[in-house]
Chains A and B, each alone.
Chain A
């Protein structure tokens, strides 16, 4: 998928563990893991809002568009 989730990068910048983020955001570890590994099909605005609030960042810091190579 051309949308890359850079959650792990932001977590590393803020020196926050997955457990800590899970507690603060209110998502289960399993769901956060799905998001972090890029397996998620969609993200709710409310989830994105909470993550941005906790990590003090913008949505663009977490989500990135990378064009797929043709062929």
Chain B
């Protein structure tokens, strides 16, 4: 049973690394494409990250283009930081299964919930901006392609993580008292 649990943790560790690297590449891609389009070649908007076409938005209004791409960059950077926190928890060996309720892990859970709140806020802003631009007749790729979908899901996740973090904090106190019971 213990071997199976360790195996699962190793798989999750590797998966977290892959997702973290993927999100990092995505955030870098958004940032590079934005800067490339603004500073070097406006045609870059037509062939944005993963072939998304933002040329309509770019020709409609450059400041709206900057706003939307900055929101995309911030959301993807926050997602990358979120997985950095997870990878760090694995990497720093803070996940001690003999005494799992430790301070650093509890802090990590709180950080994850704050990060999901931030992602929810920026994706919500991006969703609203995208909807408003579409209403004005600007052709935009779908929210999935812009990586701005599901702000409500991120909010639910934030609340769920906050609840877990709160319960975890209680667990830390109980474990601490248990360790100091002679």
Q: Which residues of A contact B (CB under 8 A)?
A: 27, 31-32, 34-35, 39-44, 47
Contacts and interface: CB of A to CB of B under 8 A. Distances in A.
Nearest to A5: B182
Contacts of B180: 34, 39-42
Interface residues of B, number: 5
Contacts, number: 23
B96 interface: no
Nearest to B181: A42
Contact of A44 (B176, B177, B182): B182
Contact of B177 (A27, A32, A42): A42
A7 to B, nearest CB: 10
Interface string B163-181: 0000000000000110011
A31 B180 CA distance: 8
6 contacts: A32-B182, A39-B180, A42-B181, A43-B181, A44-B181, A47-B182
B53 to A, nearest CB: 63
